[in-house]
Structures are given as C-alpha cells and as structure tokens.
Structure 1
Amino acid sequence: MLHTPHACQFCGRYVLEVEGWAESLKPGHKVLVPWDDDPSVFHGFYHWSCVRASEFGPKFRTELLNWVCQKDQLITVRGEDGLLHDTVRTGLGYTRHLATVGGGDIYESPRFDRWVFAETAGPVHFLDIDQARVLSEGKPLRGNNGGRHAFLPEDPGDVVAGWGLAEVLDFLQVRDVYQDMIDRFAPEYSFWRGSPKGSSYILVYSLSAMRPVPSDIAEFFQNYLQRYTLKIPEPVRTNGDQ
C-alpha cells in the first residue's frame, strides 16, 4: 500500500482526480486490499486505466462489488495493533443484478432510483435516474466538476494560476495517463485557488470530462426505462416551479 500523497495504488504515479477517470476510496468504506492475502483496508487514489491494466483488476472489482452489492456484513481486518479484528462493513445494497452486457454487469438499488455498472475489467460506475435518462437519450454523460483539492508534491509558483490542464499534467508527469481523456472526452479544467505549504502546494480546482460509459449501457437504459417505475416519485411541478 502506497502512502505518498495522491499516488495511484496500482502504478505509484500521481493521481489528479476526475470522475470516471481517476478517483479515490476512503478507508471508511472498508474495501479490502486486492493484492494482499493479509486482510487490510484499501484506501487512497487510483487511475481507472491502471485498474483495467492490472492483474489485480478482477480482484479489485470483486472487492468493490462485495461492498457495493451487499448489505451490512461482518469482515475481518488487521488493525494498527497488528491483530485481526471483526468489523461491520456498511454495504451499499445494490442487490438486484439486472443484466450482463458486453462490458460488464448492471446492478440496481431496491430502494432508490440508482444503478451501478461494474466493468468486467474492474472500475465501477454509479448512475442516478437523471444520468440514466441522459444515457437513454443517446447523449454523452459528463462527470461532476465540483471543487477538488490536490496536494502537489512541489510548489509550481504563481504561474500555475494560468496553466491549462495539459500543463498541470505535464508538471505532475502524468499526461500520458490522461491522454485518451484529453483526446476524446472533452475535459474542462479551471484553476480556483492555491497556496504553498512548505515545499509543496495545495491546488483547488474543478475538472470534468465525458464519462467513458460504454454504448451498450445506453442501449440497455433505452429499453429498461421505458417500463421502469420510479421508486421515489418525482415532485409534481406547478407553474411557479418553472
């Protein structure tokens, strides 16, 4: 397990987070480390492309689904004291397996209008009803661009405020990891603010790109939503709501 700030747990290189491309897992989710027989919790950052390319991608997928597709369960984890402890993992409860499509499996929440698409290669996509509708209409789905914090290993100086995404990635020496996103998925990057912290730097930014959801997922929702009944009815709009 790598503990360098923002290091990908699969390749060791820097992770600049962007939904659907490079993300992180919090230790509170209690997903187990996929490459270690000793039960420890996976937490930290990862590039989705690294998950897909890794020999541990299938095991990582299994662990993610153990968390995502089950209810609360008892697991055994080695604690900081070096001893094994039983602990409850709060599952997300996507227990309904709807379909197996070309790129993976689709699961549904029995309580909410939400779905998960688990790629066969490892990564997991979360989708709400609005996002499923966008896909069903054949439109590309853009990821969330909300403000994010990144701990840069070195202080780039005031010039960072004027950089575009490519310059940030070049500074972090990971442009190659994001090249497919840059070339084909229309990323949008904005510098918000930043401040030095010792020899390092705290960057606050927004970054989104079109999410790489396979076309067969869109085809699935085109058919499925035609007969789907909302679990949580949408509020009735009045003229004053428009």
Structure 2
Amino acid sequence: MPDVNECQICGAPAPLITGQCDGVAGYRLLRDPWAPKPSFLDGNLHFSCLSESDRSGLFFDEFTHMLRAGHEEVESLDGSPPPLTRMGLGMTEIFSGAECCVFQSGVADRWMVVKRNGPWFRLRMEDITELARGATLRSSSDVVPYRLPVDLGDDVRELSLASLLSVLGVTDRYEPDVVEYEAVDYYPPKLLLEYVARAPLHLPREAVAFLTEYVQNYTPVSYDDEA
C-alpha cells in the first residue's frame, strides 16, 4: 500500500506546504490516475509533479467533480455491487477560465481555485479581501504534522527548510527560498515533525482578477436564521 506521506506520483517524500504540496484523503474516493491498477487516491501530491504530469487533466476532472458533488454513489473499484457512498463538497463553480476554475461553498465563506493542470488553493474571506487590496496572499501559520521516512535525529529541528528538503532528496520539487519555515517539535518514536510553513500563494491572474471584482458585491454567509 502506498505511503500517504509520499508523493503519489513520484514516490518521494512529500512534506505539506500550501501552494506547493497538498494531500487528498482516501475517503474522497477519487480515482487515482497514476496507480498501476484501479485505486482511490490517498496521499500527498507535489504540485510540481502534478502540473507536469500528462494525467493532470484526468485528476482535474475527478477533483472538480468531487468539489461540485453532494452525497452520491461511486462505483466500486472492480465495478461489483454495492456502490460506495461519498460526500462531495457541494460547491458551485462561479468562474471558468483558460487556466483555472473557481468554486464557492454554499454554507461558508470558502472558495477553491483549481488550476487545469492540477494544483489547488483553498481561500477564506480574509484571503479574497486581501486580494482586492492588491496584496500577495500567504498561507496560514497553522502547525503541520509530517511523518519523516527516517529518523533524522533531534537536530532536524535546527534544519532550514532547504536543508530538510535536501536531506529528503526533494529540493527540486519545492520553492524553499520563498517559504517562512519554523520547526516546532519533533517526536522521534513516531518520526513526527511538526512545523509551520508560510508560503506565497501564486494564484492564476485570471482568478485574481475575477475574485477582486467578485468580492465587491459579495454578501458573507449569515448563520442567523432570521437573515
């Protein structure tokens, strides 16, 4: 069974960094276009690998279908009954351009920008407000857990991001020089490294232009039953 902490395309270690590497959970039941036999995608993806893959279009179709779908049945891997059930995100496509599509949640102030060659970006209300001000978006400062493939010792907490990626052999899959990185903790028994990695989000220009105009007339979601 593939390791979810590895890139499901190239098989190399894939620490999560928003805008450069993200993951797809197996319960989303997306067909894996890179698997040698019928499988559901479960694990991380280097966006550099994804955007260069000749199967990124297949991923885009699967991923965006899941974004739009609600509660639906999905055929099992071998086609035998009963079908599987998944819950899509129920988002609405509000923009379709040459390079990307934009989807909006119907229950929260959340958006997803998905490039046609695969990479995706999750946005919040504060993000599109910043876009409208002409600011360059950066990812959040959330702590990210990642299980290392081998024990790099306690000194792993002292490594820069570039050094960490070099040790893992994946420097060329990322852009470490633009990331604000800080190791938070390391738990050797589980090889679990916790870190914060704030990276600029390079959205397609057409998405920036659309969202900048869109937010001008957008009414935030209200949870007031009388609204």
TM-score, length of structure 1 as denominator length:
0.83
Counterpart CA distance in 2 for 1:208 and 1:77 is 38
Question: 1:5/1:110 Cα in 2 relative to 1: closer, same or farther (>3 Å)?
Answer: closer
Amino acid at match of 1:11: C
Counterpart CA distance in 2 for 1:233 and 1:218 is 27
User: What are the Cα deviations for residues 35-65 of structure 1, in whole angstroms up to 9, with x where unaligned?
Assistant: 4696532101111111111111111111111
1:237 maps to none
2:14 maps to 15
Give percent identity, aligned residues only: 26
How far 1:213 sits from its partner (Å)? 1.2
1:182 maps to 176
2:29 maps to 30
Q: 1:205 aligns with which of 195, 211, 221?
A: 195
Counterpart CA distance in 1 for 2:149 and 2:112 is 34
Q: SS state of the match for residue 108, structure 2? A: coil
Matched, 1:223 2:213: yes
Rg bigger for which structure?
Answer: 1
User: What are the Cα deviations for residues 83-126 of structure 1, in whole angstroms up to 9, with x where unaligned?
Assistant: 5541111010112x322234211222233322221211112222
2:86 maps to 89
For structure 2, list consecutive stretches of 5 or more residues without a partner in the other structure.
none
Question: 1:230/1:4 Cα in 2 relative to 1: closer, same or farther (>3 Å)?
Answer: closer
1:167 maps to 163
Counterpart CA distance in 2 for 1:216 and 1:78 is 37
2:131 maps to 135
TM-score, length of structure 2 as denominator length:
0.88
**RMSD, matched Cα:** 2.3
User: What are the Cα deviations for residues 117-144 of structure 1, in whole angstroms up to 9, with x where unaligned?
Assistant: 1211112222222111111211111112
For structure 1, list consecutive stretches of 5 or more residues without a partner in the other structure.
235-242
Amino acid at match of 1:212: H
Structure 1 contact 138–218 (Cα < 8 Å) conserved = no
Counterpart CA distance in 2 for 1:175 and 1:35 is 22
What count of residue pairs does the alignment treat as equivalent?
Answer: 224
How far 1:74 sits from its partner (Å)? 0.7
Question: 1:208/1:84 Cα in 2 relative to 1: closer, same or farther (>3 Å)?
Answer: farther
Question: 1:195/1:160 Cα in 2 relative to 1: closer, same or farther (>3 Å)?
Answer: same
Counterpart CA distance in 2 for 1:155 and 1:231 is 45
Q: 2:184 aligns with which of 161, 182, 192?
A: 192
Amino acid at match of 1:152: L
Counterpart CA distance in 1 for 2:4 and 2:64 is 26
